[in-house]
Structure 1
């Protein structure tokens, strides 16, 4: 895709042209980027650890969200399966 040299906001903007949803482990993305202006949904996975076995447990919560995402929104899924929708980088509703 030729994105090796892109970082931060430029990388997110490039991803937004090719994908509808970005799934990340970066819990600081809400503080570092203005996601409301990007045409992409960001879903942050918060596992007990970043080990694959802990993250795969979150897939059962991730799959149903993919059909209900709203462009420009940020959602967090924690290890208990709680989903928090963040509005403008601030805590919103827990689903």
Structure 2
């Protein structure tokens, strides 16, 4: 009986701890020239025409919910007006942000 109680406590602890899963972001340059962007005010990244860039974060999830990563992308380019966008990525989620030429 005592072993059953210990097993139950260990099982409950494992469920509450949860697990980790990646939150993934893909930035796609759909313009015909170079674009530049920064993720969360980090280093500037250059994408040539029709290239993409992938980044992932290890996020946790458990029975109480999933962790979110707030993402801000500042971007501009030869034919792209300077702008920014903000959104959240959850554990196990993949988001794609496409940059198009403005004119």
Q: Normalised by the size of structure 2, how large is the TM-score? A: 0.28
Q: Which has the higher helix share?
A: 1
Say which one has the larger Rg: 2
Q: Which has the higher strand share?
A: 2
Higher relative contact order (CA 8 A, sep 6+): 2
